[in-house]
Amino acid sequence: MEQTATPLQVNFETSPDQYQHWKLTIDGHVATLAMDVNEDAGMRPGDYKLKLNSYDLGVDIELADVLQRLRFEHPEVHAVVLTSLKPRIFCAGANIYMLGTSSHAFKVNFCKFTNETRLGMEDMSAHSGIKFMAAVNGICAGGGYELALACDEILLVDDGTASVGLPETPLLGVLPGTGGLTRVVDKRKVRRDLADDFSTLVEGVRGKRAVEGRFVDAVIPTSKFQEGVTKRAQELAALSDRPKTGPGISLSPLMPVVDGDRIRYRYVTGVIDREKRLCELTISAPDTPQPATANEFLRAGDQSWAVRAFRELDDALLRLRLNEPEIGTIVLRTTGDPKAVLAVDAALDAHKSDWLVREITSLIRRTLKRVDLTSRSFFALIEPGNAFAGTLLELALAADRVYMLDHPDQANTIELSAMNGGAYPMSNGLTRLQVRFLGEPESVGKALDHDGPIDASSALDAGLVFSAPDDLDWDDEVRMALEARAAFSPDALTGMEANLRFAGPETMETKIFGRLTAWQNWIFQRPNAVGEHGALMTYGREGRPTFDFNRT
């Protein structure tokens, strides 16, 4: 049977003075991010050692934090070199003993978070003007190679031993959990038969063979490796449109107040109802004057609503994923002045070419994607006093269902802005409006062309909400919907929601998460991987794995 450790309450906030696994240095327009994992500083001290630059969730939380700080605090950085300070070891991948002693839910959400972090690197390359290069100075296996695959280019030292590989299938009976197989064939366009062979080799590939198969971009002799890395990093940096100098904005701690089943930030509040297995998340609109120009966004720093509110929402979602596995439904509400949200949207749209405004928009886009990719049911409830307008309306559009109260005596409206028209694409490359109206694309234009607020009856007619009960039916309809949701199999809901949320074209991103949700999720529960004699459980211990050889 799967052996699991005591559940861990995960805190996703960290800062450079707390890093134990990464070293960041900046030289001109090039940052070097070096992995130097402290093997005694795992998230569960004593349960496992992070040997050979293997990583656990704590290592990736630090990585996610430093990437966010590079975006906002260091506009002068145009390229990042990802490397290792361990001699002859780049990264051995996710720590196997950590995986073997973690619950199923933790394993899957660990893979999901690391996927989102690596996709965040690719997002930086596509939208922030920051290119990544992996300087692989030693053995690079499993999740280590997946980290390299997230970079724009991979340079491998040619020292006779350094290699890249994805040994999960032959060694552990599982898949590369952070998109390795997908990136090999979709991103690097490795030939299928070569990828098949590569994925069954414990030792990986090195040297000329790695280049010829397109597993790396170049191999460089040890004597010229650092020189080659520096030269190529400077060439990549020259491609950027980021500012030549700062200042950036500092990201301060969020410091939420946790009181039992309530968590309260500045703009986000979460309240858990354990009996109903749901969490109510309420996001407030701005209640103070907000920046209207790029310079004002810079002066406001991380305290502007657009930065602060979505950092808070992101943190709340991650806490729910990892710390509250029994909370199956998230009820989304908003409150405050919708005009204040629309004013922020107008500023973001007017100054979208500014580097900082671009980063703020990217932060919101990634947070909204976090909603899309969270294995929870989302119901948006739109009531009088709501602020579901523009950017906040995206939260309703991300929900599995939207209920809007049609009250005869109290105004209750929603409103769209330019930001609903393409600023926040989903993983499939489409807007949430486009996905909603995939079979009636003309409805997208009608919604965006509408000038002013939209009441409940009109929103229902336009297909923007699922249901619009009146004040007599509201409480009962919402209650019955939530009770029905809580009665369904959570496994079936996870699969159903993941299938329904991404209508339209397939992308590398949707493939990665679809395969994680389905195949890796399934494999992580199979005896061949996590049974008493499964490959993940016997690795590094006496004996060999015992497989059930029936194909399913």
Burial class (CB in 10 A: 0-12, 13-18, 19+), 314: buried
Burial class (CB in 10 A: 0-12, 13-18, 19+), 201: middle
Question: How, if at all, do strands 377-382 and 54-55 pair?
Answer: unpaired
* Residue that has been written with the tokens 């965040």 in this structure: 120
Q: Give me the pLDDT at residue 303, please.
A: 98
Domains along the chain with CATH numbers: 16-237 (3.90.226.10), 257-496 (3.90.226.10)
222-267 pLDDT, tens per residue?
999 999 999 999 999 999 999 999 999 999 999 999 999 999 999 9
C-beta separation of 326 from 103 below 8 A: no
**Region 477-492 average pLDDT:** 96
Residue 206 has pLDDT above 50, yes or no: yes
Q: Give, as one character, the DSSP assignment of residue 354.
A: S
Q: Give me the pLDDT at residue 178, please.
A: 84
User: Edge-to-edge strand order for the sheet containing 218-221?
Assistant: 22-27, 30-35, 79-84, 131-136, 153-158, 218-221
Coil, helix or strand for 360?
helix
Share of the chain above pLDDT 90, in %: 91
Give the whole-angstrom CA distance, residue 478 versus residue 55. 43
**Region 169-177 average pLDDT:** 90
**141 falls in which pLDDT band (50, 70, 90)?**
very high
* Mean pLDDT, the chain, integer: 95
Give the whole-angstrom CA distance, residue 138 versus residue 156. 8
Q: Give, as one character, the DSSP assignment of residue 472.
A: T
Q: Helix 104-123 and helix 355-372: axis angle, to 10°?
A: 150
End-to-end CA distance of the chain: give it in Å, rounded: 20
Q: Specify the amino acid at residue 143.
A: G
Q: Give me the pLDDT at residue 195, please.
A: 97
pTM of the model: 0.96
Contacts of 339 (CB under 8 A, 6+ apart): 389
Residue 2 has pLDDT above 60, yes or no: no
469-479 pLDDT, tens per residue?
999 999 999 99
Residue 1 has pLDDT above 70, yes or no: no
Q: Give me the pLDDT at residue 3, please.
A: 47
CB count within 10 Å of CB 163 equals 23
Share of the chain above pLDDT 70, in %: 99
CB count within 10 Å of CB 389 equals 28
Question: How, if at all, do strands 30-35 and 22-27 pair?
Answer: antiparallel
Q: Is the Cα dihedral 292, 423, 251, 380 positive or negative?
A: positive
Query: ∠238-243-245 over CA atoms, to 5°?
Result: 105
C-beta separation of 161 from 133 below 8 A: no
Q: Best-predicted range by mean pLDDT among 459-463, 526-530, 537-541?
A: 459-463
Give the whole-angstrom CA distance, residue 275 versus residue 294. 46
Query: ∠136-137-140 over CA atoms, to 5°?
Result: 55
Residue 542 has pLDDT above 90, yes or no: no
**7 falls in which pLDDT band (50, 70, 90)?**
low
CB count within 10 Å of CB 295 equals 12
Asked which of 14-18, 149-153, 483-487, 532-536 is least confident by mean pLDDT, the reply is 532-536
Q: What stretch of H or E contains 531?
A: none
User: Edge-to-edge strand order for the sheet containing 164-165?
Assistant: 88-91, 138-141, 164-165
Asked which of 53-67, 78-92, 99-113, 250-264 is least confident by mean pLDDT, the reply is 99-113
**543 falls in which pLDDT band (50, 70, 90)?**
confident
The two three-digit tokens of residue 352, written as one number:
């979208």
CB count within 10 Å of CB 92 equals 23
**515 falls in which pLDDT band (50, 70, 90)?**
confident
CA distances from 55 to 51, 97, 116, 127, 174 (A): 8, 10, 16, 27, 17
Residue 6 has pLDDT above 60, yes or no: no
